[in-house]
Structure 1
Amino acid sequence: MLRITNSHIATKNGSFELPDIAVDRGELLVLTGPSGMGKSTFLHWVLGDTIKYVNISGDISLNDVSLKPLNIEQRRIGLLMQDVHLFPHLNVVDNICFALPNGLTGDNGKTLNKNQRRAAAMAMLDKIDLAYVAGHYSEQLSGGERSRVGLLRALANQPKALLMDEPFAALDPQTSVQVSQWAFAQLKARGVPTIMVSHDINNIPPQAQHLDLAKYYRRLT
């Protein structure tokens, strides 16, 4: 479970104190609110980035382990943004291979070699019916394909929690609904606690938690 407590954020324009947050395995919390309020900054704080231009305080724990003393690499939290930055010089399967953890082992307990890692990436693509884009490069993918590959690459790194910042905003409305529903199903099946920033309150799944930051925001006058 991902827990965030006693959180306070102060920007140059205003501040807010959030209620305590608890996101369990496979659950989704959606944050909404006007632009410039600090939603994306909040995600980067949870991720472990150093935030210099905003004052943020609070406690973060994942599976009852405090994340405050851990750096960004140690937190095992993934981030998926609106612009899916796939490596342009690598095809899809190699992008996923790159994301697989170092020292990944097989059923026999031995570390996978290069060919075995590639086979593991192909198996991930095949499992979600994306094997047909394995040899494609980023510029050959549609927006929906790129979003799904981006999510799969994020999950390939085996994060213990995932943060998503407007991940489907660049897609047309119909594709956005289809891809987001697919993504939420993948995250639930894998048991990944997820926090997503969104501007579209109509695209929030009914089972998700919803936190409207505007209710807690106090603008400076």
Structure 2
Amino acid sequence: MLSIKNCQISSEKWQISLPEIQLNSDELLVIIGPSGIGKSTLLHWLLGNQPKHVNISGQVLIDGQDVSLLAVENRHIGLLMQDVFLFPHLSVTDNICFALPKSAEFASKKQRYNKAQKMLEQINLEHLSKRYPQSLSGGERSRVGLVRALANQPKVMLLDEPFAALDPSNREKIGNWAFQQLAQQAIPSIMVTHDLNDIPASAKQLNLADYYQSKDTQ
């Protein structure tokens, strides 16, 4: 479960005070609102990056643990953005291997390779295993990007306009696939989007504009 409490975003001219947010393990929250209101900024704050152009405060709890003061690498939060960055010199399998946690379970190269192959097979992407990023289509890159993000075993997933670069014929299909993977792995997720067509019917929605307050003198 993900909980966000007492979150406030503020600049010199405006502030946004959010209600308490709680997401169960298989739920998706979609954040909408006009450009510049702080949607992506909120995601990066949740990830652990403190923005410089606004002030954000609040409490972030994952499965009851307060992670608000933890560094990015200790929060176990994944991020998938519009521009999926895959290492161009590594194959799809090796990109996934790189993302696997440094643990006893994946101590050897063979263990990491077997896990990566299994992940690809489970979602019918094994045919991409030996391909390199530059040979992938936009839809394939998006799917591989999500698999790699999941390989890191995040407790929460953040998605920042993840399907914006896809053509309309692929957007809905890839989006439905991604949300299905996140729900099956019971990962609470938050997505930012400008396109209301990207929002699945089962998702919760939060419009930041509903909580916007100007600091201008009355």
Q: Is it true that 1:129 corresponds to 2:124 in the alignment? A: yes
Q: Is it true that 1:152 corresponds to 2:147 in the alignment? A: yes
Q: Distance in 1 between matches of 2:174 and 2:13?
A: 34
Q: Distance in 1 between matches of 2:148 and 2:12?
A: 35
RMSD of Structure 2 on Structure 1 (CA):
1.2
Counterpart of 1:16, as a letter, is I
Summarize the Cα distance change of 1:87–1:13 in structure 2 as closer, same or farther, 3 Å threshold.
farther
Residue 42 of structure 1 is matched in structure 2 by 42
Report deviation, 1:12.
4.8
Of residues 113, 117, 133, the one that matches 1:118 is 113
Q: Distance in 2 between matches of 1:210 and 1:146?
A: 27
Report deviation, 1:116.
2.0
Aligned-residue sequence identity (percent) comes to 53
Partners of 2:50 and 2:56 within 8 A in 1: no
Structure 2: gaps spanning 5 or more residues: none
Residue 14 of structure 1 is matched in structure 2 by 14
Q: Would you say how many aligned residue pairs link Structure 1 and Structure 2?
A: 216
Counterpart of 1:180, as a letter, is G
Counterpart of 2:197, as a letter, is N
Structure 1: gaps spanning 5 or more residues: 106-110
Residue 181 of structure 1 is matched in structure 2 by 176
Counterpart of 1:99, as a letter, is A
Partners of 1:31 and 1:196 within 8 A in 2: yes
TM-score, with structure 2 as normaliser? 0.95
1:51-200 to 2 correspondences below 5 Å:
51-105=51-105, 111-200=106-195
Counterpart of 1:82, as a letter, is Q
Q: Distance in 2 between matches of 1:182 and 1:199?
A: 19
TM-score, with structure 1 as normaliser? 0.94
Counterpart of 2:172, as a letter, is V
Report deviation, 1:14.
2.5
Summarize the Cα distance change of 1:170–1:104 in structure 2 as closer, same or farther, 3 Å threshold.
farther
Q: Distance in 2 between matches of 1:210 and 1:193?
A: 14
Q: Secondary structure at the match of 1:73?
A: helix
Residue 27 of structure 1 is matched in structure 2 by 27
Q: Distance in 1 between matches of 2:160 and 2:61?
A: 20
Q: Distance in 2 between matches of 1:15 and 1:104?
A: 46
Structure 1 stretch 198-207 or stretch 173-182: which is displaced more? Answer: 198-207
